[in-house]
């Protein structure tokens, strides 16, 4: 089967949904499917055309053309994409997101009419799904919509009820790590926050909670791994609370080093305000670490409260502190939660099952056309 994979971002070294995409494609490629990738050009270090595991990747300045209202450039891009679609002759198009770049897909639909599925990795606010919006058009014209969590599926159907009969959940998944999980360390406990340093990740809540945690466990260290616009604020907060000597800012960590970083931690904290799924929670589980997470979005599906970790109401600083302290006071409980998390991750979020579900959907949609 020949699949055109359309993604806003396709850079396997970033993490998050990009890891989801590249893992899925690499496995389906191994199973005999063919791919061509079209994505946004976001990094000057990358050429306009390169190969990823023998998959041709074509990058276009979608966002730049739209932001500058450059009609000539938009027209030229559409001509190039139309030519690619005609020459490639895909059986199916897989959109790995929805947003402004959808316009280029819709403007080139007639070059090689093909059925398409849409994967939603994020919650789309209701005001972006009114009848005349581009995301709503994409949803309505999709042959099938896949959501990364039941939470995203439910919220999307609430805004566009007509898609309920052609939408489903395929939970995100990742390949199991080669690294063997090490026993949890409580001699010098390490609390880990991992992800992009953005406001909605709520890492400032973890810092505030940490100031209470160290009063009872003074040897504990907080590790913040990731980069983003809120880093200066977090560093300032750490200094203001007198936590500089016990907090480490690691900056961006490449996906291939994530498992080793989690393996050095005792507990992972995810105080997110919004979380469509929570890949970090799944990575944490695969490394047999307990997690203390906000009771929001898709995190409630990845973390089983009281079994694989502890869920805390969002914005509850004292709740996060109490949950972490509970685990630090009970090493046996913390270790058992980590082991339970690993077992559940392998069973519920199996990578093979994830790929099987997409492969079955590909075949089902193509048979209908």
Contact 369, 116 (CB under 8 A): no
pLDDT at position 43 is: 77
Contact 294, 275 (CB under 8 A): yes
Contact 34, 10 (CB under 8 A): no
Q: Where are the alpha helices (DSSP H) in 94-133?
A: 102-107
Q: Distance between CA atoms of 176 and 286, rounded to whole angstroms?
A: 7
- 138: Cα within 13 Å, side-chain hemisphere: 29
Q: Is 23 helix (H, G, I), strand (E, B) or coil?
A: helix
Sequence-distant (6+) residues with CB within 8 A of 170 are 119, 146, 147, 148, 354, 357, 358, 361
Compute the Cα dihedral for 284, 238, 295, 151 and give only its sign: negative
Q: What is the pLDDT along the chain (369 residues), one digit of tens a residue?
A: 999 999 887 765 544 556 678 889 999 999 999 999 999 988 777 899 999 888 999 999 999 999 999 999 999 999 999 999 999 999 999 999 888 899 999 999 999 999 999 999 988 988 989 988 999 999 999 999 999 999 999 999 999 999 999 999 999 999 999 999 999 999 999 999 999 999 999 999 999 999 999 999 999 999 999 999 999 999 999 999 999 999 999 999 988 899 999 999 999 999 999 999 999 999 999 999 999 999 999 999 999 999 999 999 999 999 999 999 999 999 999 999 999 999 999 999 999 999 999 999 999 999 988
Give the domains, in start order, of the chain with CATH numbers: 2-173+350-368 (3.40.50.2000), 190-348 (3.40.50.2000)
This prediction's pTM: 0.92
Sequence-distant (6+) residues with CB within 8 A of 221 are 188, 189, 190, 191, 246, 247, 248
pLDDT at position 11 is: 63
Q: What's the start-to-end Cα distance of the chain, in Å?
A: 13
pLDDT at position 183 is: 97
């Amino acid at each position: 089967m020949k699949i055109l994979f359309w993604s806003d971002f396709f850079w396997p070294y970033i993490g998050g949904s990009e890891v989801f995409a590249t893992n899925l494609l690499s496995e389906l490629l191994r199973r005999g499917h063919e791919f061509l990738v079209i994505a946004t050009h976001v990094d000057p270090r990358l050429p306009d055309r390169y190969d990823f595991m023998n998959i041709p990747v074509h990058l276009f300045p979608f966002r730049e053309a739209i932001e500058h209202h450059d009609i000539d450039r938009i027209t030229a891009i559409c001509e190039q994409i139309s030519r690619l679609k005609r020459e490639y002759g895909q059986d199916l198009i897989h959109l790995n997101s929805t947003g402004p770049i959808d316009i280029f897909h819709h403007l080139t639909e007639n070059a090689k009419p093909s059925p398409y599925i849409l994967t939603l990795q994020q919650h789309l606010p209701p005001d972006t799904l009114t009848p005349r919006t581009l995301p709503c058009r994409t949803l309505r014209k999709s042959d099938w919509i896949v959501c990364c969590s039941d939470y995203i599926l439910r919220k999307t159907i609430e805004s566009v009820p007509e898609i309920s009969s052609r939408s489903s959940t395929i939970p995100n998944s990742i390949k199991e790590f080669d690294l063997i999980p090490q026993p949890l360390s409580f001699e010098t406990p390490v609390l880990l926050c991992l992800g992009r340093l953005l406001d909605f990740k709520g890492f400032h809540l973890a810092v505030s909670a940490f100031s209470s945690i160290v009063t009872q466990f003074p040897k504990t260290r907080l590790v913040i791994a990731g980069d983003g616009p809120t880093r200066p604020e977090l560093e300032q907060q750490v200094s203001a609370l007198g936590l500089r000597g016990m907090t480490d800012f690691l900056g961006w960590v490449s996906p291939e080093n994530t498992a080793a970083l989690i393996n050095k931690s005792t507990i992972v904290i995810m105080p997110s305000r919004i979380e469509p799924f929570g890949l970090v929670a799944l990575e944490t589980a695969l490394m047999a670490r307990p997690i203390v997470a906000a009771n929001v979005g898709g995190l409630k599906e990845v973390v089983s409260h009281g079994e694989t970790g502890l869920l805390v109401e969002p914005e509850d600083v004292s709740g996060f502190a109490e949950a972490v302290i509970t685990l630090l006071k009970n090493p046996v409980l913390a270790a058992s939660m980590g082991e339970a998390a690993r077992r559940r991750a392998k069973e519920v979020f199996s990578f093979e099952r994830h790929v099987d579900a997409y492969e079955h959907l590909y075949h089902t949609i193509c048979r209908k056309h």
